[in-house]
Structure 1
């Protein structure tokens, strides 16, 4: 099976992150990404993600699969909750469950969280996969004028 490694977002070549965030298929899944992702917006993005680590002790990672940058995500603070985010290049969309299972273990076995959330825009049809993973649909909420559905997975370990 393929090797998934977690590395700092800062360790990824910026152009690879920029290319991912400007990928048409990826952008279609990210309603908050409304502008072209430039060098300048990449810097702002990286600094914001580093601030999460500095303030909360956790945040998103970059994913390397077989040594190649595949995407980013993981657990990040969102309104007092640990929220699971996953942004993968389309070439790696089949790796979502493996990456999720890694972060489920981190959230519940290492961080001892009572639950984690995931925010999905209603337009994403694959949110039903979250239900198969054990998440429960909680409510709709608005983030930066965009509607999302919040799902929660409780720690039953």
Structure 2
């Protein structure tokens, strides 16, 4: 998360990514699992860490996020396909939302999946483009 190529598309990452930030981040993500029974996963390829992502409950909605290490950027579609297969099989998830910063210009994959643009929203002081994909 400290790599500038990753941080470029993460407007909420306005702090130094140090050991304290990592500990707080992990505690927050683990709390999602405890509270909701679902959260983000560490993503491995050939037993090597390539990033993190998955579903996090935001109010009544399940938001999907994916953050990959720069040398794994090309794997997002394949990883996301597996995650969406999980969402389709999980009765708790009638649809998935995506909050993308306006800096993300290549949104063709979302459109090909059938995600619909909901609108611009403000989240924690930053603007995001909100999309929704039905899973049921």
Residue segments in structure 1 that go unaligned for 5+ positions in a row: 1-20
Say which is worse superposed, 123-132 or 26-35, in terms of deviation.
123-132
Q: Please list the CA deviations of residues 71-129 of structure 1 after superposition, one character each: whole Å capped at 9, or x if unmatched.
A: 00111111221111000011111111111111111111134521111110111112332
C-alpha contact 2:77 2:109 (8 A) present in aligned 1: no
TM-score of the aligned structures, taking structure 2 as reference length: 0.95
Q: Name 2:124's counterpart in structure 1.
A: 144
Task: State the TM-score, normalized to the length of structure 1.
Answer: 0.83
| Corresponding residue for residue 124 of structure 1 | 104
Conservation of the 8 A alpha-carbon contact between 1:120 and 1:127: no
Aligned residue for 2:9? 29
Structure with greater proportional helix content: 1
Number of aligned positions between the proteins: 136
| Contiguous gaps of at least 5 residues in structure 2 | none
Equivalent of residue 74 in structure 1, options 36, 54, 58: 54
Please provide the CA RMSD for this pair: 1.1
Following the alignment from structure 2 to structure 1, what is the Cα–Cα distance between the partners of residues 105 and 97?
A: 18
Pairing of 1:85-104 with structure 2 (within 5 A): 85-104=65-84
Moved over 4 A (4+): none
